[in-house]
Each structure stands twice: as C-alpha cells, then as structure tokens.
Chains A and B, each alone.
Chain A
Amino acid sequence: MKFRRIGRPQWLLLVSCAALLVVGLACGGTTTPEPSTAPSQAQQSQPAASGSSAEAAPTPTFTPMPTRVLDATPTAIPVPTPVSIDERPDWWQEGEGKHYRGTFPMVGNSNPGFWDVHYGGSLNTTLMPSSPRFNQLVEYNPVKPSEIIGDLASTWEVSDDGTEYVFHLKDATWSDGAPVTAEDVVFSLDRITLPGAQRARTGFLRAFYEHQTAEVIDTQTVRVPLKYQAPTFMPNLASDYMKMYPKHIAEDLTQEEANQPENLIGSGPWLLGGWQKDVSYTFERNTTYFKEGRPFFDGIIVHLIPDTARRIAALQAGQVLGTFNPFTGVNRPEAMAVLEEETDGQVRALILPSAGFEAYFLNNAKPPFDDERVRRAFYLGLDRDLGIERAVRGFGQPGTFFSPGVVEDLADLRANNPAFAEDRTAAIAEAKQLLAEAGYPDGLSVKMNTRNAIPTLPAAEVAGEQLRRDIGIDIEIVPNDLATTYAVMRDGTHEISTVGTGIILTDPADILNQFYLQDVLRNPQNWQDDRVDELIDLQNRAIDQRVRQGHLEEIASILHTGSSHLVVYFWGGAGGALDYRIRNFHLPPTVQQIHKWDHVWFDPDREQPTETGYQP
C-alpha cells in the first residue's frame, strides 16, 4: 500500500454518521408534537375522564366486521316535512353549551377547485369546501336524513295538482348584513337553470323548472311553478348543490369571478378563512348566522393530505380529529375500520355502505361486445360475491342496477337470477354456452380500460382473474388516470372500461339520468332500448308512487337480462372517521348530502362509548 502513513480515517465515517444523526434529532426528536392546544388536552384527559383512577376502564375490544355496517338506505324518496323557525330541538341547546373555542383540526384529501357550487361538479373540489358557506331553500334534516326540512324556507305549500310550490322564507341575512329576500331565491333558481351555462350537478333542475318562471310574491314569499308534477323535485332542491346566492353580489360576477374563493358570499354557517393550495383551507364561524348559536365551533382547519398512508397516520396520531365533511371514496371503509381498532376506539369509523358502485362499461358498438349474447355472458359470468369479499373485504353489496333495496329485491334475485345465485354453476354454464353461440367457444381476450383508483383497480384484478378461470374471458388490465379513462370511453376505442361511479340521490332517477339516456358521458356508445326509454319517461311523470315503482321494476327486469352496456359488479362504501367526542353526526344516504357542518359539536367530556362504530 502506498498510503501507509495515513492515520486512521475511520473518524471521517464516524463524523458523517454523527452529523446525520445530530441533524435528524435536532429537528425532529425534541419538539412536542401538538397540533393545537385545546383538542390535545382533551385527548390526554380521556382515560381519566371517568374519575376513578384505581379502577382501570375496561378496554373494549373492537372487531370491525363488515356485517355491522349501518344500513342507511332510506326510502327512495325522502318525506318533505316543513319545520318552523321557532323549533329548536334539544340537540341545538346541547351543542351551544359545548361550543368549541378554537380552530378545530380536520383532514381533507384534495384541493378545492371551483368555489361556485352551481358550476363545479365534484364532491372534493367543490361541495366540501363550498357547501358550508351557503344555504339551500330546503335541506335534508341533518339529524334524520330521510326527512326534508326547511333551510332558508320556513314553510311551504304545494298546489293540489303538485305543479306549484310556494315557499315562505325565514329571517336570514347574507354575511354582508343584507337580508335574504325572495328576489335572491328567484335569482338563484334562474342562475341554476341558466340556459347554456355549465351546471354540472345543478342542471337537473331544468327538467322540472322552466327558467324565469318563479315569481316574487312579497319579500318573504316566492312562488315556483313546475313543468309537471314531479316527485323528485324536492329531493333535488334539497341537495347541497342547490345553493342560494345573494342577487346583489352574484349578478355582477362573471363565471370566472364566481369560481374564485373570495368573490361570492353566502348566508351559511361558515366564512372562508383562507386557502393555501396543497396545504389547508380554514373556516371561521359566521357570527350572524340565522340559525342562532350555530355552528358550534369558532373555526375549522382542513389539512389537505392526498397521500392515504399519511392521512391515516395523521388521524392515528391525533394530529387531526376527523375527516372533514366526512365521507369520500378515497377513505376506504376497511381502512377506517382498522383505524378504529388501532386507536382503541379513539377514532371511530363511519361507513356509508352503498355510496357508489363498481361497474363495467361494455362497448356495445364494437366486437365482441356488440353481440348481446357476449354482454349477457359477461353479466352472468361475473362473481359478484367474490368481488365484494376480495376487492373491498366484505364491505359491499351485490351489484344491483339501482341503489340496494330501492327497486330490486336482492333475496328475489338470489333465488331466481343465476347471475346472483350463491351456486355459480348454472350461471357459468349458461355464460359459456352463450359465448360458444356467439362464436367464442374457446373464450376471448379483451383489454380493460381501468381507472387506477381504489377499489376500481383491485376489483378489476379480481374480476379479471375470476372471469379467465370461470368462463375463459381473458382480460388484460390497462390502468389509466381518470382523464384518460373517460377519453378512451368517449372515443369508442375501448372494449371494456371501468370507473367507479357514485350517486347524488338514492332516487332511481339519478341512475337513469347518468347511464341510460342518450349522449351522456356514461353511455358513451349510446346503448338504447325502446321500452326502457318509454319507461324512463313514464316514471318521471308518474304521480302515484306505486305506479312509478312498477315502471322502475320493469326497467330493472330489462336490465337484468344483461343486455345493456353496463354491468354492475358491486356497490361499495365510502368511509370517514371522526373522533368519538364529535357529537351529532348522522349518516346521510349518499356522500353528496349534508355538507354544511352546522349541527355537530365537540364534547371533550364524553365517555367513550363501548359499542363499536361511530355513535352520534
């Protein structure tokens, strides 16, 4: 060796390791990790809350099983029940008593996009950040979502033929102090139905309400005529997208200005505090909110954490006390259940069992799926129970075409439809025979345009593996992001596509509008059946609920021949998580409802419930 005279340069190694360690410790290890003062104090006091220190509270064991998922499916159409302004239920009093001083930390998963709820069309980017700032005319009762109660309206009357509504308004003010008047309501209804304007989610109202036909009767009363007697008018009007805007502000805004966070104001419980992209948005309490005493927090900060593992870590470590608003498809029910278990019930899982479905769009304009027999073979061959068990770990229900329990009877399907039977042999045999008849006796291979999201991707893997094994349909999965998935669907080059889809209302009309009309995005190759078209029209106008149900059942029976472009795999849940001390949140029927966040409160003294799952 030439360099014999060198000392011992090992110290260099030591120094470098030490340097890494020192820097790491200096910046991380020593600081105290409290997100905000009040909630963390409360958190520490949790075990001692019972008072008796000697007797350790029995640690409840949690076994979050899919079977205990709350069934929140209400009747198809909620019952409108007028509520007068003087009515203050008991919980209102209790919430006021527990008013939270401080900014409450919660977590969200994606940046806001458009701040005009009439324009934008997305739960995470529009509804979650914007809904808390505005009110609707009527709303789903946040503590009993199967009811529709007044929001800005106190009471309303319906004409005998059901084609005219008269709403009476409460005394409410916009956040700039101006009163909410009938003028504003008329303006907002017309803004929602403005011809030619983009109204991603509110545009449905055009089906019932003719632009510029509502009239002001006096400052507190407004008359709204309908095109026809429509049982789904009120459920649509109560949706969180149907927000009322102040005429004196909104009429001067261009669409671009309205989409910005700072321009629009509302009458809602919350004012926007601030927004930093990729970081957080904050709300401040509207102190002049017309529902006196609400909301029950001074402020809320919503930290944006797109990465699932990091989001769960933040919930687990108590950096945030719940998911804001609180359901989204990216919070997987099974993950939330595990979270509850791992935090010993500190964080409670909220699971909405049938928030949306996984479905396969078969290209009915191109071989092989232009052949009805091949579509039916696919419909029969799909093992829905296996999909639920593997792709969503049991948190799902077999793929009915309408929301579970609303039109189809699952027990009846299980008994009489081979595709849903527990014993798969009949379905597989029939599927194979259909494929053989269609000219594919040895099976066939197709590409599947798959959105790379959860649970769409694992579901596609399960389905692909099972179909290859059972009926010889060899599926090559091609994962794409959302934009590509839809583009490929629309341009017609796909063979099968799959993208998870949700519903805004449990009402069957929502499904029919999304999938079975012509020239809609989710019927890209315009699958069409004369009888279905006829029935869609009939059920829209049916006044008698039983008659409408009959039409819907006939549509379902046509769809269950498996001839349409759409095969529903399973209904899956959306998840959320709330600290058990957050009170009064009640499961809504869909993820898109009850987003104002003006009815829940934080009770630091609450004893941990022994039952699993979130308890209101």
Chain B
Amino acid sequence: MTTYIVRRLLLFIPTILIVTIIIFLLMWIVPGDTAMLILTGNDPNEGGRVSLEDVERLRAKLGLDRPVHIQYGDWLWDMLRGDLGESLWYQTPVIDELGGRFITTVQLAVMGMGLAFIVAVPLGIVSAVKQDTKLDYMSRLFALLGIAMPTFLIAIVVTYVLAYVFDWLPPLDYANLWEQPLTNLQQMIFPALAIAFHDLAFTARVTRSSMLETMRDDYVRTARAKGLTEMGVIGRHALKNALLPIITVSGYQFGRLLGGVVIVEVIFLVPGIGNMLIDAIIHRDFVVIQAVVVLVAAVVMFLNLVIDLIYGVLDPRIRYQ
C-alpha cells in the first residue's frame, strides 16, 4: 500500500511537468500578447495612436521577447521555489488571488454535485429497479434533460425566468460564504442548480447501471432468498454496494468540474477559477493561466489518488501492487 502511494506520488512529477510543457507550448504559439492589449485597450470603441515601437518596448519589459525555453526555465525555477509569479496584466502576485477563487469554485462544485446527487441517485435506483418500464423511461428522460442543453442556455433561461417571471435577481456584489451565508447562498444556488441539472444525467446513469449490476450479484439473490423485503434488499444490500462506483465516478466528475464551470461562473457572476481563467485568456496573461492550470491539475490528480485509495479500502477485492 505504502509503495503504491509513493509510486503514484512520484508519477505526479512527470505528469505535472508534461502539463506545464503543454500549456507553455500552447501559449507560445497562440497569437497575440499582453503588451499589445495593454496598448490597444479592450473596448470596441478604443482609439489612440499606438506605435509598433511601443509594442516592442513593452514586450521586452514584460519579458515576452525572451526565447520560449528561457521563459519556461525561469518560470519553472520560480515555481519550484514557491513563487507563482505576477500577473502580466494586473501586476499583482497570482498567489494572492488563487486561494479565495479556488475555494469559491470548490463551493460551487460541491453544491452542484450535492444537488445532482440528491436527485440523481433516487432516479437511478428507480430506473434500475423498474428497468424497462414507463417509470424507468420517465426518470431517464428527466435525467437527460439537462445534458441535452448547453449550460449557457440553461443559465440564460434561468436568469430570464428569474428576472421576467419572478421579478427577482440574485443580489449583486458577491458575498463570502463565511461572512454572509444567506446572501452567498442566494447567489450560488442558481449556478449550482445549473451545474446539477447538467450533471444529473451522468450520475443517474452510473447509479442505474451500478444498481443493475449489483442486483444480479449472488449476495443480493441470497438476501432475497432469505425473505428480506424488497426495500431491505435494495437499501441494505444492493444500494450499499452500488454506491461505491457512484462515489468513485462522482469524484472524477468533481475534478472535471473544477476546471469546467467557466460559462456558469461568467453568467452567474461567481468570482471563481473559471472567471479568472477566461479573464487571463482574453488578456493573454500566461502567468495566471499557468498557475491556475497547475493548481487544478495537481488537485485533480491528488483527488484521483485519494479516490483510488478509498476504493481499495472499501472494496476488498482490489489489491494494489
């Protein structure tokens, strides 16, 4: 077990290195840089004389004129010493902002997945137990509604309904969960619902197939043969065992959400990682992009390791080499 963990942890190193190299190369070939944006502005109605000489001078100042391998080397060295660098655009240390944003996104992901879980697991159980009946079809269709719409459509429709039907919108000015929990909840619940709606299909589907599988296992048959009620069989035996893959898959899904809730964050004004990323991409702020990606990648990998370990602890059939 210990060797397994050590081995997995050691494998983190090459993976993170590959992540940074991929991102650096991508950013290197993506056209445009921060210098030009600083000079030209961001609004469609911007004017002003910008000379090409100014652009070159600013690029040199920001260090964007160095060869890519030097930039990468310097960046890597700084990061190893724990310095994530300063945003090219805002000129503030990236680390100052990263923590708070990360927590916000985690909160959103947890709420979204939690809501999805509450609805999807019962739905999945129903469709497994009542496989190929009307009830199965109905619950499966319901679970699929969210996945069949792009998230931005869900978000726009939700905003529209709130504003024009209920004449209410979540309060502006993002409130911290610890300081103003009620306001925070009002702001976060709708993006969380949008995420939940989208994730429903996935979790419900895993629940259903996992339940179908366990219900054919011998011990479930035995339990039933012993004369347990159907509720008892499902609740105590089948569900308990089916839950394991559900939790595992949800864990991976959670990691995916951390980097993937951008559109929801933008439309619902959640100051999380996604908003930070999109802002950084628009400004070609490579330093911020690198920092965010490395953080997300590290967390996702760590999460996956933890899930694998938990899986091993809970499922005695699995042994780690």
Chain A interface (Cβ < 8 Å from any Cβ of B): 3, 5-7, 9-10, 12-13, 15-17, 19-20, 23-24, 27-29, 31, 33, 35, 105, 110-111, 113-114, 120-126, 196, 198, 200-201, 203-204, 256, 259-260, 276-280, 301, 303, 305-307, 309-310, 313-314, 316-317, 319-320, 327-330, 355-356, 451, 453-456, 480-488, 490-491, 500-504, 510, 513-514, 517, 519-522, 524, 574, 591-592
Contacts and interface: CB of A to CB of B under 8 A. Distances in A.
Contacts of A488: 31
Interface string B39-68: 111111111111111110110010000000
Nearest to A20: B119
Contacts of A113: 38, 42, 89-90
B251 interface: no
Contact of A279 (B33, B266, B271): B271
A9 B129 contact: yes
Nearest to B215: A3
Contacts of A591: 43, 45
A280 B172 contact: yes
B122 A356 contact: no
A112 B43 CA distance: 12
Contacts of B231: 6-7
Contacts of A305: 172, 269
A31 B182 contact: yes
B135 A5 contact: no
A488 B31 CA distance: 7
B108 interface: no
A105 B172 contact: yes
B172 A259 contact: no
A493 to B, nearest CB: 9
Contacts of A23: 115, 118, 189, 193
B273 to A, nearest CB: 11
Contacts of A123: 41, 43, 45-46
A501 B47 contact: yes
Nearest to A356: B45
Interface of B: 30-34, 36-55, 57-58, 61, 89-92, 97, 115, 118-120, 122-123, 125-126, 129-130, 135, 138-139, 156, 159-160, 162-163, 166-174, 182, 185-186, 189-190, 193, 196, 229-231, 234, 266-269, 271, 275-276, 279, 282-284
A276 B174 contact: yes
B113 to A, nearest CB: 13
Given A6-B231, A28-B190, 8 more contacts: A5-B230, A23-B118, A23-B189, A28-B186, A198-B38, A301-B173, A313-B160, A484-B30
B129 A6 contact: yes
A121 B40 contact: yes
B36 A521 contact: yes
B31 A520 contact: no
A35 B122 contact: no
Nearest to B263: A307
A12 B44 contact: no
B282 A328 contact: no
Contacts of B30: 484
Given A31-B182, A514-B47, A519-B53, A9 B115 contact: no
B41 A503 contact: no
A320 B44 contact: no
A27 B44 contact: no
A262 to B, nearest CB: 11
Contact of B97 (A5, A29, A35, A277): A277
Nearest to A493: B31
B125 A27 contact: no
B91 A260 contact: yes
Contact of A204 (B49, B234, B266): B49
Given A307-B266, A483-B284, A200 B48 contact: yes
A314 B163 CA distance: 8
Given A121-B38, A482-B40, A9 B130 contact: yes
B300 to A, nearest CB: 23
A17 to B, nearest CB: 8
A460 to B, nearest CB: 13
A313 B169 contact: yes
A276 B271 contact: yes
A502 B43 contact: yes
B44 A502 contact: yes
30 contacts: A7-B230, A7-B231, A9-B135, A13-B123, A13-B126, A20-B196, A28-B186, A33-B168, A33-B171, A120-B38, A122-B43, A309-B267, A310-B267, A314-B169, A317-B169, A320-B172, A328-B45, A329-B45, A329-B46, A330-B44, A455-B44, A481-B282, A482-B42, A486-B37, A487-B33, A502-B46, A517-B49, A520-B49, A520-B51, A591-B45
Contacts of A329: 43-46
Contacts of B46: 121-123, 329, 356, 501-502
B119 A483 contact: no
Contacts of A456: 44
Contact of B129 (A3, A481, A483, A517): A3
Of B38, B167, B271, which is in contact with the most chain A CB atoms at under 10 Å from its CB? B38
Contacts of A105: 172
Contacts of A306: 266
A200 B39 contact: yes
A236 to B, nearest CB: 11
Of B50, B92, B162, B166, which is in contact with the most chain A CB atoms at under 10 Å from its CB? B50
A114 B97 CA distance: 17
B166 A125 contact: no
Shortest Cβ-Cβ A-B pairs, 10 listed? A483-B32, A122-B41, A502-B45, A329-B45, A329-B44, A487-B31, A356-B45, A12-B122, A500-B44, A27-B189
Contacts of A120: 38
Nearest to A509: B49
Contact of A259 (B91, B159, B230): B91
Contact of B42 (A12, A110, A317, A514): A110
Nearest to A500: B44
Of A27, A355, A453, A454, which is in contact with the most chain B CB atoms at under 10 Å from its CB? A27
